Amino acid sequence: MHKNADSSPAANSRGDLPDHLIKPIERGVLGSFLNWIGMTLTHIFIHLEGRGLENIPQQTPYVLASNHETFVDGMWIGSFLPRWQFKKYSCLAAQDLLTDYGVFGRIIMRVGRGIPLNRKGNPIRGLITAKKQVEDGNILMVHPEGTRSHDGYLSEIQEGACYIAKKARVPVVPVFIDGGYEIFNRYRKFPSWWDPGQKARRRLIVRFGKPLYPDDYKNAREMTRALSDWMQQAFKEKEIPRDFGTASTAHT
């Protein structure tokens, strides 16, 4: 991925973006059109399946907490939400997408109504903005692992998603993406649509779990343990074969 620092927002010496950028990037007509293109290509080139759609709350707000396998996890998850909910859908995302990934990163942020989070410095401003979005009735998607998988395995589940949910008193809906790593992991420059072993389009399964309600847990840490347990079980039950590894195996 080529960096395009010249046309990307500049951070200060601490890595913090200006205050006016710590808010959801408006999707607008352009973002909606780009999302439509992305999902059209998805449906053409891969076999996409949603599971547990009955677990998506019929009322907002709520928090979605998903494992993180690709840059476009949020787009795939959002495609299963009712249209009226998608309009309220935002993703908490690393501000690197705005500062280090040029046009591609800004497209991802626009499609996902991204809220920039400074992972390398002070994340508080991003978390406060995300919490306020939820309190205002919006849907927030968080990747509690914090970054895309390096090797196809789950990383430690952090407390951010459940912290926001507890503070805003809204449920967390766990989500597991199965097959994204094979399609577009961090080592691929372009998506891989074809499964040579199966001689067919690659499969992608997005599984929604039953909501976790904040009143059922004493604190965010306890709620996070329940979320982590669900993620680990979903990982054990994954259906799409995976060749685990880092850069040496991720391209095959």
User: If pLDDT is split at 50, 70 and 90, which confidence band does 200 have?
Assistant: very high
Give the mean pLDDT of 192-207.
96
Check whether 236 has a pLDDT greater than 50.
Answer: yes
Check whether 99 has a pLDDT greater than 80.
Answer: yes
Task: Return the pLDDT at 21.
Answer: 52
Cβ neighbours of residue 250 closer than 8 Å, sequence gap 6 or more: 152, 181, 185, 186, 187, 188, 243
Q: Tell me which residue of 209, 206, 231 sits closest to 76, measured CA to CA.
A: 206
Three-class DSSP category at 199? coil
Q: How many Cα atoms sit within 13 Å of 8 on the Cβ side? A: 21
| Amino acid present at 176 | F
Structure tokens at 9: 């927002």
DSSP notation for 133-192: HHHTT-EEEE-TT-S--SSSS--PPPSHHHHHHHHHT--EEEEEEESHHHHH-TT-SS--
Q: What is the mean pLDDT of the chain?
A: 89
Q: Tell me which residue of 135, 142, 21, 127 sits closest to 74, measured CA to CA.
A: 142
Task: Return the pLDDT at 196.
Answer: 93
**Cα separations in angstroms, 78 against 11, 16, 54, 139, 206:** 29, 28, 15, 10, 10
Task: Return the pLDDT at 13.
Answer: 45
Check whether 2 has a pLDDT greater than 90.
Answer: no
Task: Return the pLDDT at 16.
Answer: 58
pLDDT tens digits, 6-31? 445 555 544 555 454 555 788 999 99
Please say whether the beta carbons of 73 and 66 come within 8 A. Answer: yes
CATH number for 5-250: choose from 3.40.50.720, 3.40.50.300, 3.90.1150.10, 3.40.1130.10.
Answer: 3.40.1130.10
Cβ neighbours of residue 84 closer than 8 Å, sequence gap 6 or more: none
Report the share of the chain in percent with pLDDT over 90: 77
H/E stretch holding 228: helix 220-236
Check whether 68 has a pLDDT greater than 90.
Answer: yes
Please say whether the beta carbons of 149 and 185 come within 8 A. Answer: yes
From CA 240, how far away is CA 177, in angstroms rounded?
Answer: 10
Check whether 192 has a pLDDT greater than 50.
Answer: yes
From CA 99, how far away is CA 74, in angstroms rounded?
Answer: 19
From CA 189, how far away is CA 34, in angstroms rounded?
Answer: 19
Task: Return the pLDDT at 65.
Answer: 99
| Amino acid present at 96 | D
Task: Return the pLDDT at 93.
Answer: 92
Report phi then psi at 238, rounded to 5.
-60, 145
Task: Return the pLDDT at 4.
Answer: 42
Other Cβ atoms less than 10 A from the Cβ of 245: the count is: 15
Task: Return the pLDDT at 175.
Answer: 99
pLDDT tens digits, 75-95? 999 999 999 999 999 999 998
Task: Give the lowest-confidence range in 18-27, 152-161, 176-185, 204-213.
Answer: 18-27
Tell me the pTM: 0.87
Check whether 250 has a pLDDT greater than 60.
Answer: no
